[in-house]
Structures are given as structure tokens and as C-alpha cells.
Amino acid sequence: MLGLSRTERHASRIARLHAASGAARWDVALEAFAEALDASVRHRWPDKQPAEREVARYLESLALEDLALACGCRAGHEAAWEHFVRELRPMLHAAARAIAGEAGLELADGLYADLFGLAGDRPDRRSLLAYYHGRSRLTTWLRAILVRRHIDRLRAGRRLDSLDEDFDERDAAAGAAAAEPRDVDPDRLRFVRLAQQALDRAIAELEPAARLRLRLYYGHDLTLAAIGRLLEEHEATVSRKLDRARREIRTRVEDILREQHRLSPDQVAACLDHAAAAPELQLTRLLASGEDS
């Protein structure tokens, strides 16, 4: 097992976290909560056995009360769902309206059905809450899923555009490619590919809330004020955290290019220059992350 070891050394920590989470309020047993913690650790470190100190620090950072509530809801505890409906479902509807306007109610109800485990015709279908691991607040995770699903709907709608429009886009792209000068830097394609890979990894390593702000700002074109209302943050706070995320991404991309791809400082600079001018760099794809958290 890559996650928590069931030893005496960990037993007291798990018991303390269980008590601090209020899990007993939702009849979540100690062993069930320990399994949720273990799943969270394995999700955080899927490919290695983390050091005990890393695990302890990670567990202390989790949104324990939200994780306990999710466990209670997944188990079908009536009081847990009553709390969710009373405290979180109104937020879900408000966030969906802010994201999708009039279509928000349908978006929120579809998500609620998946959280409850009602959607689909599979008898073994499980609640979407199984993918919540406590790394962010439950409200932040729910907003992130709403954003992702709304963007997916918009993209699906675009795929239904007329064939004439698609043909025009292909014509324009082909014309632009034909117009490129023949003496283009031969390293350009390789550098853009390396930048894409580094950017992908740098964004994936950000905290979920930071990815959500980036997704709302760049992927969904929301204003700072709108993001602030959605995330219950001051506009200046959103701006400051976006700036910090951009700096972290830039630094991490440079580190990856230098350390993993063995690029020299001049090559790193050239790589970033090519990436900045590359229309094919898929920033929006990178920001449309999955529903795990």
C-alpha cells in the first residue's frame, strides 16, 4: 500500500484527525475515515511511497470537515445530505448561475444528481464525491467541476457548428502555414513541444484553487470582479493570487526545461520566446483539469 500504514505509529494521528473532522456527526466510523485519508494520500502520491513526515504534513493540510461530510454523504447518511442540501446546494445553484446564466440550474441539478449517485443507468454507479479527496474546500471543488462541465458544453456546442465554418478555419490555418518563412528556426517545433509539456506539468502541480482561478480567468474569460464574487474573495486578492500563480508557473517551467530537458539558459529563453508566439500552445486544454481533488 502506497498510502497510510495501519501501525500504532499512525493510529493516534488518524484518531485525532477523525475527531477534529467531526466525522462522528455523520456516523463516519474511524476505519471509514482512515480509508478516505489513505485514498487521498495515494491520489497525492500515485507513484511513490512518501516519507512519514510528508504524509503527516499533507494530512494536516486537508479540509477534514469537508472530507468527513463527503464520506457521510457517500455512505447515504441522512443528516449529512440534509446538511449538504441546506448549506451547500444554494451555493451550487448560485455558482452555476454565475458561470452559465440561465443554463446554470440545469448544470447544477446535473451535478447534484452525480453527487447523489442518481445519474446514468448503471446499478453500480457511485457518487461523484468518491473523487473528492479533501485537498481543497468542498465548495471550491464543486465550483471547479461546474466550470469544467460548462466549458465542456461550450466546446461540444462548437463541434456542432456548420461544416462551412470548419472548412473556413482549416483554410485559414493552411494559408497561415503556407505563408510562414522557410528559414524558420529549426528548433521551434521541438521547443514549443517541450514548453507544452513543462506548462502541463507546472499547472498540474498547482493547488486546486489556483488552477480554478486560472481556468476562470483564461479559460472562461471572467473578470477579476466576477471571479471574486464566485470564489468569495476580494478583487484585489484574486489579482494578487493570479499574479503569484503566473510567477510560480514561469519559475517551474524554467526549472523543468533546465533540469529535466537539459536546456542551457539561452535555450530556455529561446524556448519561452517560441512558446509565447505559438498559437498552437494549448493553455485552455491544460486548464481544463479533471474532477479529482
Question: What's the average model confidence in pLDDT over 68-90?
Answer: 92
Single-letter code of the amino acid located at 82: E
Are the C-beta atoms of 4 and 41 separated by less than 8 Å?
A: yes
Q: What is the pLDDT of residues 211-233, one digit of tens each?
A: 888 888 876 767 888 888 888 88
Average pLDDT over residues 135-158: 81
Instruction: Please check whether residue 30 is in contact with residue 18, taking contact to mean a CB–CB distance below 8 angstroms.
Output: yes
How far is Cα 236 from Cα 253, in angstroms, rounded to an integer?
A: 26
The average pLDDT across 43-57 equals 86
Q: What share of the chain is helix, strand, coil (3-state, %, to 5)?
A: 75, 0, 25
How many of the other CB atoms lie within 10 Å of CB of 197? Answer: 15
pTM recorded for the entire structure: 0.57
pLDDT at position 96 over 90: no
Q: Which residue in this structure is represented by grid cell 513543462?
A: 198
171 pLDDT more than 60: no
How much is the pLDDT for 288?
43
Task: Tell me what pLDDT residue 79 has.
Answer: 93
Residue 180, pLDDT > 70, answer no
The C-alpha angle with vertex 209 and arms to 206 and 211, in degrees rounded to 5, equals 50
**CATH of region 185-287, choose from 1.10.10, 1.20.120, 1.20.1070, 3.30.1330:** 1.10.10
With cut-offs at 50, 70 and 90, classify the pLDDT of residue 47: confident
Better-predicted residue by pLDDT, 36 or 191: 36
Q: Where does CATH 1.10.10 sit in the chain? A: 185-287
Q: Tell me what the mean pLDDT of segment 49-60 comes to.
A: 88
Q: Are 64 and 132 in contact (CB under 8 A)?
A: no
